[in-house]
Chain A
Amino acid sequence: ETGVTQSPTHLIKTRGQQVTLRCSSQSGHNTVSWYQQALGQGPQFIFQYYREEENGRGNFPPRFSGLQFPNYSSELNVNALELDDSALYLCASRGDRYEQYFGPGTRLTVT
Chain B
Amino acid sequence: AQKVTQAQTEISVVEKEDVTLDCVYETRDTTYYLFWYKQPPSGELVFLIRRNSFDEQNEISGRYSWNFQKSTSSFNFTITASQVVDSAVYFCAPRTGGRRALTFGSGTRLQVQP
Main secondary structure of the interface of B (DSSP, over half): loop
B28: chain A residues within 8 A (beta carbon): none
CB < 8 Å A-B pair total: 53
B44: chain A residues within 8 A (beta carbon): 2, 102-105
A97-B50, A102-B44, A105-B43 known; A41-B106 Cβ under 8 A: yes
B25: chain A residues within 8 A (beta carbon): none
Residue pair A48, B106 in contact (C-beta under 8 Å):
no
A42-B105, A44-B104 known; A98-B45 Cβ under 8 A: no
- Smallest CB gap from A33: residue in B: B101
Which of these, B47, B93, B101, contacts A48 with CB under 8 Å?
B101
Interface centre among A90, A92, A98, A101 (most CB of B within 10 A): A98
- Smallest CB gap from B91: residue in A: A42
Residue pair A42, B50 in contact (C-beta under 8 Å):
no
Residue pair B45, A90 in contact (C-beta under 8 Å):
yes
Q: How many angstroms between the C-alpha atoms of A7 and B91 in the bound complex? A: 24
B70: chain A residues within 8 A (beta carbon): none
B106: chain A residues within 8 A (beta carbon): 41-42
Q: How many residues of B sit at the interface, in one of the four size bands?
A: 20 to 34
Q: Does B65 contact A (CB under 8 A)?
A: no
Interface residues of A in 9-31 (CB under 8 A from B): none
Q: How many angstroms between the C-alpha atoms of A45 and B47 in the bound complex? A: 16
Interface centre among A33, A42, A55, A90 (most CB of B within 10 A): A42
Q: Does A56 contact B (CB under 8 A)?
A: yes
- Smallest CB gap from A107: residue in B: B43
B99: chain A residues within 8 A (beta carbon): 56
A47 to chain B, nearest CB (A): 9
Top 3 A-B residue pairs of the complex, sorted by shortest distance between their CB atoms: A56-B100, A42-B104, A45-B101
A interface list, Cβ under 8 A from B: 2, 33, 41-45, 48, 55-56, 58, 88, 90, 92, 97-105, 107
